[in-house]
Amino acid sequence: MPLRILIPKGRIYENIARLFDDAGFKISLADRTYRPKVSAAWMDVKIMKPQNVGDLLEIGSHDAGFTGADWIQESGADVETIMDLGFDKVRIIAAAPAPVDLAALKSKPIVAATEYVNIAGKYLKEKGFNFKIVRTYGATEVFPPDDAGIIIDNTASGQTLRDNGLEIIDTILVSSTRFVASKQAMADPEKRSRIEELAMLFKAVLDARERIALEMNVSEKNYEALVKTLPAMRSPTVSPLYSNGEEAGYALKIVIKRSEVSEIIPKLKQFGATGIIEYSLRKVIP
């Protein structure tokens, strides 16, 4: 029986499709269809809204999927989080027309506009608001001031809120895309194994995106000094160079964090490295 996987439609889809592709599984989706073709026969993929993924996994109609931590919390779905992929990071915030007078907002009944009815209700109650919730279906930021006194919404940079004259009052939670699975699938040894295999490959891809490989040559006389400066996952890979009567030397290969490249390459040159080659990695499995 295939592993039934849900991928969200919209902005998350491209990130997930690229992740599968880098993991070795090609996914293609024709226009106006909800059943992508996948290169692995043991996977059956369907496109759904991220809001529905948690509930569908909980009832067992699918085995694994991808959705934001915000929608898992909003739905209250009883699912198992396999890993945080770190995609599409957003904050779930409370905001109101600027300048905000919090005491005035709490002094009278207000309308709260949101897609996150459960998250909003819990938050507003805990903070002592007298509120009525109006569910929105996108474009929540346009409700104030005429139709709502406060909104609970997601934001990446906050720019859309500022453009609409809104000020963030509070950050309720921080969300990103999670790889999640149904409890039923995780209780099935075969499906659990497949899910864990995918998680291992996804982690290898994500780790690779954070690192690069460097190859270089170094003379025998500069070798010891250069090696002592090298960061690496464990230790550099070293091979002797064919000298052909010339000065002996070595070829070195290291894997480092991308953030270290601009600092490391000048040091390598300083310690006598030549023929430095930088290239990206597909997967890193420690």
User: Any idea which fold 90-175 has?
Assistant: D-Maltodextrin-Binding Protein; domain 2 (3.40.190)
pTM of the predicted structure, to 2 decimals: 0.87
With a pLDDT cut of 70, the percent of the chain lying above it is 98
- Mean per-residue pLDDT over the chain, rounded: 92
- Smallest CA-to-CA distance from 271 within 257, 250, 256 is with 250
- The pLDDT value recorded for residue 207 is 95
- With a cut of 80, say whether residue 235 has pLDDT above it: no
Per-residue pLDDT of 277-286, as tens digits, reads 999 999 988 7
* Residues 28, 119: Cα–Cα separation, whole Å: 34
Q: Delimit the CATH 3.40.190.10 region(s) of the chain.
A: 3-86+177-208, 90-175
Q: Delimit the CATH 3.30.70.120 region(s) of the chain.
A: 211-280
Per-residue pLDDT of 202-220, as tens digits, reads 999 999 999 999 999 999 8
* Residues 2, 42: Cα–Cα separation, whole Å: 5
Q: What is the CATH number of domain 3-86+177-208?
A: 3.40.190.10
Per-residue pLDDT of 136-151, as tens digits, reads 998 999 999 999 999 9
* Residues 276, 251: Cα–Cα separation, whole Å: 10
Given the candidates 3.30.70.141, 1.10.10.10, 3.40.630.30, 3.30.70.120, the CATH classification of the domain at 211-280 is: 3.30.70.120
